[in-house]
Amino acid sequence: MASPGEGLPVGAEVEVDVTAFAHGGHAVARHEGQVLFVRHALPGERVRALVTSAGAGERFLRADAVSVLSASPDRVEPPCPWAVPGGCGGCDLQHVSLAGQRALKAGVVREQLSRLARLEVDVEVEAVPGDDAGLDWRTRVEFAVDDSGRAGLRRYRSHDVVPVDHCRIAAPGVDRLRVTEGSWDGAEAVDAVAPSVGEPVVVRVPEDGAGPVVRERVATSWTGPDGATVTFDRTFDVDARGFWQVHPGAAPTFLAAVMGELGVREGERVLDLYCGVGLFTAALAEAVGPSGQVVAVEADAAATDHARTNLADHPQVAVLTARVDDAFGVARPVRRGPSRRTGRPRAAARSPLVPPTADVVVLDPPRSGAGRGVCAEVARLRARVIVYVACDPAALARDTAALVEAGYRLDRLRAFDAFPMTHHVECVATFRPAEGGR
């Protein structure tokens, strides 16, 4: 095995056999014992790989497949001319058929749960309704701007701007804005947003004052606890640069998946953690009715301002602006200065708005996950069901291990291809008390 510093140099080319697909969108190969993470390759292929950079401590190398010597049956011609070595870094999987992409993502979810949670779970990645080609779906695109004021997309792991004509996965409303044809002197970036209600908008970054507010409509249905069909149709205010699902079919799909698992009953007490502008909160409030209670927690102040507006007709909802770990009184390390050294854990007082028990809990944390401390506090609520919406399989697996350790079992897992042409995958995991629990 090559020792650190003795491996292939950057710029070297080598023929390798690709053996696996890793979390993060990389195919995995080895050369004389050294691991290569190879973009634009597929398991089962033999490729010629160009080394582009070394990983931390040179424990691994990053590379691009610059030629394919033996192709996988899942390989296709990328629909975008910029999805090539040295091109745009936004899409990892344009060289893979949609069925192949979903199989790779399912394998990553299985592997992370097996490795980090010690669970063997069968996973199938489902298409999001309305998506049959994997293109023209992204309703929010941030374009980078170079020193000349030209907008484009970033090269992989680089600040370089690739001058694309238009993004092939961008929604038609984003394309109509023709951001890449304009001049954006003085801007660091340009956000193009095509909401489901109203006209597309452009936001210069940094903004001058408050950014625009857009409206998003969600219409869907699911089966309620009595077996009847529940319909939902509501419009939400959200900052143009705030968090909202970028695939137009994602929000209704995830909402139906979550509510169908929960079976919320009238009069129950529910926590909606990392609630954003209140998508799940609104449906939960309708389900528990005036006699129930929903506590929604979100760290982003702009999002909670919108949540209070969006939920003004539901007095049974309390919206708390706070980090979820702080709301539960979970100590977290303090980051000190530019070195980001970790200091002593920061003590936090549990918010009086967070109840000691709950019937139902929904979590939709950021990519880093909820964390062991939050999972332990959620388990102490003794909810009859917890549904966790995850955008990162590794974080989900770590938090699954924490919930299992705290007395819950993974009852069901669904995965959705809400980000076609990329390695990202969204999961909806349902947890219920293990034997002997509530």
Please provide the DSSP assignment of 241-273 as one string. TS---SSTTHHHHHHHHHHHHH---TT-EEEEE
Statement: residue 317 has pLDDT above 60: yes
Any domain includes 300:
yes
Q: What percent of the chain has pLDDT over 90?
A: 87
Cα 232 to Cα 278: distance, rounded to the nearest angstrom: 14
CATH code for the domain of 57: 2.40.50.140
Measured distance between the N- and C-terminal CA atoms of the chain, rounded to whole angstroms = 52
Statement: residue 50 has pLDDT above 70: yes
Q: Are residues 267 and 398 in the same domain?
A: yes
Any domain includes 119:
no
Cα 194 to Cα 175: distance, rounded to the nearest angstrom: 9
Q: Are residues 309 and 378 in the same domain?
A: yes
The tokens for 64 are 């691009």
Q: Are residues 166 and 30 in the same domain?
A: no
Q: Are residues 201 and 218 in the same domain?
A: no
3-state secondary structure of 24: coil
Please count the other Cβ atoms lying within 10 Å of the Cβ belonging to residue 302.
Answer: 18
pLDDT of residue 334: 72
Peptide bond into 206 cis (omega under 30): yes
pLDDT of residue 73: 97
Cα 272 to Cα 341: distance, rounded to the nearest angstrom: 32
Q: Are residues 197 and 260 in the same domain?
A: no
Q: Are residues 364 and 265 in the same domain?
A: yes
Any domain includes 328:
yes
Which position has the higher pLDDT, 418 or 56?
A: 418
| H/E run at residue 376 | helix 372-380
Domain boundary pick from 184, 205, 226: 205
Any domain includes 135:
no
Any domain includes 417:
yes
Q: Are residues 251 and 270 in the same domain?
A: yes
Q: What is the pLDDT of residues 198-247, one digit of tens each?
A: 999 999 999 866 689 999 999 999 999 999 999 999 999 999 999 999 99
Cα 235 to Cα 251: distance, rounded to the nearest angstrom: 12
Any domain includes 298:
yes
In 3D, which of 279, 372, 373 has the Cα closest to residue 326?
A: 373
3-state secondary structure of 64: strand
Domain boundary pick from 18, 45, 75: 75
Which position has the higher pLDDT, 88 or 343?
A: 88
Q: Are residues 308 and 420 in the same domain?
A: yes
Cα 123 to Cα 357: distance, rounded to the nearest angstrom: 31
Q: What is the pLDDT of residues 348-394, one digit of tens each?
A: 789 999 999 999 999 999 999 999 999 999 999 999 999 999 999 99
Residue type at 280? F
CATH code for the domain of 411: 3.40.50.150
Residues 167-194: what's their mean pLDDT? 96
Any domain includes 98:
no
From 80, 88, 391, 427, active-site residue: 391
Q: Are residues 370 and 406 in the same domain?
A: yes
Q: Are residues 269 and 410 in the same domain?
A: yes
pLDDT of residue 207: 80
Any domain includes 196:
yes
- Under a CB-based contact definition with an 8 Å cutoff, are residues 38 and 63 in contact? yes
Domain boundary pick from 20, 51, 75: 75
Q: What is the pLDDT of residues 254-301, one digit of tens each?
A: 999 999 999 999 999 999 999 999 999 999 999 999 999 999 999 999
The tokens for 46 are 């033999």
Statement: residue 6 has pLDDT above 80: no
pLDDT of residue 1: 38
Statement: residue 341 has pLDDT above 80: no
Residue 179 main-chain phi, psi, to 5 deg: -60, -40
pLDDT band of residue 57 (cuts 50, 70, 90) is low
Q: Are residues 414 and 335 in the same domain?
A: yes
Number of domains in the chain: 3
Please count the other Cβ atoms lying within 10 Å of the Cβ belonging to residue 53.
Answer: 14
Residue type at 206? P
Cα 425 to Cα 423: distance, rounded to the nearest angstrom: 7
Statement: residue 337 has pLDDT above 70: no
- The answer to whether the Cα torsion of 331, 399, 370, 89 is positive or negative is positive
Mean confidence (pLDDT) of the chain:
93
Domain containing 149 equals: 140-205
Q: Are residues 253 and 378 in the same domain?
A: yes
pLDDT band of residue 342 (cuts 50, 70, 90) is low
Examine the residue annotation and report whether 391 is marked as an active-site residue of this protein: yes
